[in-house]
C-alpha cells in the first residue's frame, strides 16, 4: 500500500511518474494532474518530455516522432482502434510478438525445407554455441520457442500474462521492455556458455537455446522481492507463496546444473534470469519504495476483465 503524493490517498496499485519519480493514484497519475516538475520541459524543441499517456500531445507545436509514424500506418492506432489494447502495454505486446515469432518459425522451417536450407530456422531463431556471433539470435531466441512442443510457449505465456503486468505497472513500460529483452538475452548466453564448456559447441547442430523462460523468471524474481508472500495457485490447484515457488525453481536449476542433467531444459538460463530478476527487484524496492499488493484476481475487479481486482482476489498460476 502506498500513498498518493498529491492527495494522500492510500493506493494498492500506485502509478510512479517516470519524470518526477513521485507516487500517485489513478486520478493524479497524469503529469498535468500532479504538477509534475517535468512540465517545464513540455515545449522543449527536442521533444524530451512526453507524458506517455496520449500521443496527441504536441511537443513544441509539433507532433512527436512516434505520433507521426503511427499516423502513417494504414490502421487505426488511436485509443479506440484495434491496437489500443497494446498502447503502453509491453507485456501483451511481447506476448503477441512471441506468438507471431512462433508462426514465423514454422514459415522458416517450411521455406528452408522447400528451398534446400535445412538450417534456416536454426540460423534465424536459435542462439547456438557454434554461432554466438549471430547477434540477432540473442534477441530472436528470446521470442522463439520449440516448434514441436506447444507447451513450451504456452507455459511461458501463462507466467508472463499473470506476472508481467504487475512488474510493468511498477517499473514502467520502457524499463519493463529492457528487463525482458536483456534478461532473456543474458540467460540465453549463459546457457550456451555452459553448453560450450560441456563440449556441445564442437558438435554440429548440437546445443542451442530458445524461449522466454529466462525473461519470465526474471519477471517472477522481481515480484518475489516486492512481495514474497504473494499467493499463487500452482497448476491452478495448489496454493503456495511465490517465494516458495521461486526457491523451488532455483534449487531444481542448481541441482541439474551441478549434475549435468535436466534433458532439454535450459536450467542455467532459468537460474540466470531468476537472479537478474531478484537483483532488479531489490533495486526497485530500495529506490522506489514500492511493494506489490498481496492478492490479485483476474476478471470481475475494478480494473475490468483481466484487470487488477480488489481484496480477496488472488493471482492464479
Give the pLDDT band (50/70/90) at residue 298.
very low
Domain boundaries, the chain: 1-40, 84-287
- What is the spatial distance between Cα 131 and Cα 30, in angstroms, rounded to a whole number? 46
Give the pLDDT band (50/70/90) at residue 38.
low
Phi, psi of 89 (to 5 degrees): -135, 85
Mean pLDDT, rounded, for 85-110: 89
Of 140, 145, 125, 162, the closest CA to residue 298 belongs to 162
Of 272, 271, 264, 144, the closest CA to residue 212 belongs to 144
- Contacts of residues 192-198 at CB distance under 8 Å and 24 or more positions apart, as own/partner, are 192/127, 192/128, 192/129, 192/132, 193/129, 193/268, 194/257, 194/268, 195/129, 196/129, 198/260
- What is the spatial distance between Cα 131 and Cα 177, in angstroms, rounded to a whole number? 26
Give the pLDDT band (50/70/90) at residue 269.
very high
Of 121, 237, 215, 87, the closest CA to residue 161 belongs to 215
| Share in percent of the chain as helix, strand, coil (round to 5) | 50, 5, 40
| pLDDT score at 63 | 46
> Does this chain's domain 1-40 share its CATH topology with 84-287?
no
Q: Residues 6 or more apart from 119 whose CB is under 8 A from it?
A: 112, 205
User: What percentage of the chain has pLDDT greater than the value 90?
Assistant: 36
User: What percentage of the chain has pLDDT greater than the value 70?
Assistant: 70
| Grid cell at residue 65 | 516522432
| pLDDT score at 303 | 33
- What is the spatial distance between Cα 257 and Cα 187, in angstroms, rounded to a whole number? 14
CATH code of the region 84-287: 1.20.1540.10
pLDDT over 50 (residue 116): yes
Mean pLDDT, rounded, for 169-176: 89
| pLDDT score at 179 | 96
Mean pLDDT, rounded, for 170-195: 93
Give the pLDDT band (50/70/90) at residue 85.
low
Of 98, 101, 84, the closest CA to residue 154 belongs to 98
| pLDDT score at 152 | 92
User: Domain spanning 1-40: which superfamily?
Assistant: AN1-like Zinc finger (4.10.1110.10)
List Cα–Cα distances, 95 to 118, 153, 159, 185, 216, in angstroms.
Answer: 27, 10, 11, 16, 11
- What is the spatial distance between Cα 166 and Cα 40, in angstroms, rounded to a whole number? 30
Q: Which comes out higher in pLDDT, residue 299 or 287?
A: 287
Q: What is the pLDDT of residues 194-225, one digit of tens each?
A: 888 877 767 777 788 999 999 999 999 999 99
Mean pLDDT, rounded, for 25-39: 75
CA angle 148, 150, 155 (to 5 degrees): 135
pLDDT over 60 (residue 79): no
Going 251 to 257 to 259 to 264, the CA torsion angle's sign is: positive
| pLDDT score at 291 | 54
Average model confidence (pLDDT) for the chain?
A: 77
Q: Of 45-59, 237-251, 256-270, which range is least confident?
A: 45-59
| pLDDT score at 150 | 92
Q: What is the pLDDT of residues 239-250, one digit of tens each?
A: 888 889 889 889
- The distance from CA 115 to its chain's CA centroid, rounded to whole angstroms, is 35
Amino acid at each position: 500500500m502506498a500513498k498518493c503524493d498529491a492527495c494522500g490517498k492510500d493506493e494498492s496499485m500506485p502509478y510512479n511518474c517516470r519524470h518526477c519519480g513521485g507516487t500517485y493514484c489513478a486520478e493524479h497519475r497524469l503529469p498535468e494532474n500532479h504538477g509534475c516538475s517535468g512540465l517545464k520541459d513540455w515545449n522543449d524543441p527536442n521533444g524530451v518530455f512526453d507524458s506517455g499517456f496520449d500521443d496527441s500531445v504536441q511537443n513544441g507545436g509539433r507532433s512527436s516522432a512516434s505520433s507521426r509514424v503511427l499516423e502513417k500506418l494504414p490502421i487505426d492506432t488511436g485509443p479506440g482502434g484495434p491496437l489500443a489494447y497494446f498502447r503502453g502495454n509491453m507485456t501483451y505486446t511481447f506476448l503477441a510478438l512471441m506468438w507471431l515469432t512462433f508462426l514465423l518459425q514454422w514459415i522458416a522451417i517450411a521455406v528452408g525445407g522447400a528451398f534446400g536450407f535445412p538450417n534456416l530456422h536454426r540460423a534465424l531463431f536459435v542462439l547456438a554455441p557454434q554461432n554466438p556471433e549471430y547477434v540477432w539470435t540473442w534477441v530472436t531466441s528470446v521470442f522463439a520457442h520449440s516448434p514441436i512442443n506447444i507447451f513450451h510457449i504456452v507455459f511461458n505465456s501463462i507466467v508472463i500474462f499473470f506476472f508481467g503486468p504487475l512488474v510493468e505497472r511498477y517499473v514502467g513500460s520502457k524499463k519493463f521492455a529492457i528487463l525482458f529483452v536483456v534478461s532473456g538475452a543474458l540467460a540465453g548466453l549463459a546457457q550456451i556458455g555452459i553448453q560450450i564448456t560441456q563440449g556441445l559447441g564442437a558438435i554440429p547442430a548440437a546445443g542451442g537455446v530458445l524461449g522466454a523462460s529466462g525473461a519470465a523468471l526474471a519477471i517472477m524474481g522481481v515480484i518475489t522481492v516486492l512481495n514474497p508472500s504473494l499467493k499463487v495457485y500452482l497448476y491452478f490447484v495448489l496454493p503456495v507463496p511465490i517465494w516458495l515457488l521461486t526457491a523451488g525453481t532455483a534449487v531444481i536449476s542448481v541441482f541439474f546444473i551441478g549434475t549435468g542433467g535436466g534433458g532439454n531444459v535450459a536450467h542455467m538460463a532459468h537460474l540466470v534470469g531468476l537472479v537478474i530478476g531478484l537483483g532488479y527487484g531489490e533495486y526497485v524496492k530500495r529506490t522506489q519504495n514500492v511493494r506489490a499488493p498481496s492478492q490479485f484476481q483476474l476478471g470481475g475487479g475494478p480494473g475490468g476483465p483481466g484487470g487488477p481486482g480488489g481484496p480477496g482476489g488472488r493471482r492464479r498460476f
